[in-house]
Amino acid sequence: MNHLATADYIVFFVYFIIVVGYGYWVYQRKRQAQMNTTDFFLAEGSLTWWAIGASLIASNISAEHFIGMAGSGFAMGLAISSYEWFAAATLIIVAVFFIPIYLRNHIYTMPQFLAQRYSDTVSTILAVFWLVVYVLVNLTSILYLGAIAIESLAGISFTTCTIGLALFAIFITLGGMKVIGYTDVIQVVVLIFGGLVVTYLALQLVSQETNGTASVWNGLVTLKSKADSHFHMFLPKGHPHYEVLPGMALVTGGMWINNLSYWGCNQYIVQRALGADLKTARSGILFSAFLKLFIPVIVVIPGIAAFVLYQHGPFREAMTDAAGVVKPDHAYPVLMNLLPVGMKGLAFAALTAAVVASLAGKCNSISTIFTLDLYKKYVDKSASEQKLVNVGRWAIVVSFGIAILLAPMLRSLDQVYQYIQEYTNFITPGVFAIFLLGFFWKRATNRAAMTVAILTIPFSTLLKFWPELMDLVGVQADSIPFLHRTTIVFCIDVVLMVIVSLTDPAGYATGKTIDVDQRMFRVTPSFVIGSVGIFGILAVLYTKFW
């Protein structure tokens, strides 16, 4: 069993005290006035561009990256970085085209947009879908991955880890979005710095084990030579991991749909920018896009390093379970256990920062949707601002209670990151189709949105189990990679929405359109320069590692 030394605990508690103390200070400053719903859920007008950018990254980067993506780096290599690098490009599109629409129309939640554009029924259906996915898939998996990492690193029991992480996140979340946003700045600094330390020492270890000298540059060169198969972004058909990252889907289909839906139509993410003015929101999103480019350095490279060390012996025992089965998600915890005293405490703090920031952000979004789009609309329409804030806080506590109970059930999974991606994508195509046509096609009707909202999950399920269904009628069929399924279902949904809209005898309801003006999409010269820089870096990366 692994344990942290006294120096490690000191480093961790310094981090803990700084975050909690700063969060409490931010909360006390606002407490002088009565906190209302826009303060609690959005921190309206309170977050700067750098706080928005940091909060976007802190909320997105969690144990599913440090553990799950590092595990995928071990199993398949740099190709998994497409989720991060495509996110950088996607964020620019969201900043230019999506955020102006939300801000112009005073949208605070994604279900609110659906109610304003389509109907309360469409809004409620998707609000329930989002709550189920956020609690049962996202919140639970983040808590699970964080707990197994800390259990491996510090020797603390899994149950204690889940409860401890939940309590820490609850404390941050109960202070509202302003506390989350500004403590996320500290969390990002800690998680990036701590992540870079792990990468640095992992590369030194690779160099030491293979060349006899501890050198980061030699470690990188060794990774490329010893694991060349792990440095290709394009996985052709027949590749062992083609099902996960199917070739051209990265640049022509499913990856775009996945990212645009996640970054542009997701309460958990978009909420960070909804309380700001357009210039501040765009600057914050551009800042987060730059940070996204560097995330694979701290999560994927360590996974590839663990693969090389596994191939050459040092990690063979540590990377397998009692039955001798290789467990890719063990890669990052095993690396952290090799850190020297003090540095292990920093890695522990970085991992905790990632987990807590993501848990807090996710639960704030759960609370927002439940309170504003379900409770206020259907339970107590006349609820006071203070009552709604209190309901939101109770929703946070209940959500964490459910996640704590469900987290142990994920132990049987191999790569949890893929579990998260695949099962959230059961609703992604429909959500994105409804939002995209709602933004840019005035003819899209409520009946069309309703049809897609109801049929997307059955379509996704049908394609998921297509080989088994064909087998029942004696026909052999190959399984369909989930990114291809995403593309297929999205195309079906768009065609379905167009057909239903054009044949709807009622036409689109007057008053169910939103305010869209082409002038909203104009950007500043500095934004253009930053965007060109990001796309240029992406072009170089994909050309080099294609």
Which residue in the block uniquely carries the two structure tokens 């987060």?
288
Please report which helix (H) or strand (E) contains residue 216, including its range.
Answer: helix 216-226
Whole-angstrom distance, CA of residue 317 vs CA of residue 330: 11
Asked if 257 contacts 350 with a C-beta cutoff of 8 angstroms, the reply is no
Neighbours of 381 (CB within 10 A): 8
Residue 413 lies in a domain: yes
Residue 284 lies in a domain: yes
Tell me the residue range of the domain where 381 lies. 6-424+516-545
Residue 450 lies in a domain: no
Rounded to the nearest 10 degrees, the angle between the axes of helix 140-154 and helix 416-424 is 170
| Tens of pLDDT, residues 37-74 | 565 655 555 678 888 888 788 777 776 677 778 888 88
- Written as one string, the DSSP assignment of 334-374 is HHHTTSPTTHHHHHHHHHHHHHHHHHHHHHHHHHHIIIIII
Most confident residue range from 87-101, 127-141, 453-467: 87-101
**Of 302 and 349, which is predicted with more confidence?**
302
In this prediction, residues 130-152 reach a mean pLDDT of 81
CATH code assigned at 384 = 1.20.1730.10
Rounded to two decimals, the pTM is 0.82
Asked if 497 contacts 432 with a C-beta cutoff of 8 angstroms, the reply is no
Number of domains in the chain: 1
Which residue in the block uniquely carries the two structure tokens 């501890």?
214
Instruction: Give every CB contact of residue 211 below 8 A, 6+ residues apart in sequence.
Output: 218, 222
| Statement: residue 511 has pLDDT above 50 | no
Whole-angstrom distance, CA of residue 81 vs CA of residue 231: 10
* pLDDT at residue number 508: 54
| Statement: residue 323 has pLDDT above 60 | yes
| Tens of pLDDT, residues 181-230 | 667 777 777 778 878 888 888 888 888 877 777 777 888 888 888 888 88
Residue 464 lies in a domain: no
* pLDDT at residue number 434: 93
Whole-angstrom distance, CA of residue 72 vs CA of residue 414: 10
Buried b (16+ CB within 10 A) or exposed e, 348-376: bbbbbbbbbbbbbbbbbbbbbbbbbbbbb
* pLDDT at residue number 510: 44
Buried b (16+ CB within 10 A) or exposed e, 36-58: bbbbbbbbbebbebebbbbbbbb
The phi and psi torsions of 320 (rounded to 5 degrees) equal -120, 155
| Statement: residue 529 has pLDDT above 80 | yes
Residue 481 lies in a domain: no
Whole-angstrom distance, CA of residue 534 vs CA of residue 536: 5
The phi and psi torsions of 326 (rounded to 5 degrees) equal -70, 130
Mean pLDDT computed over every residue of the chain: 80
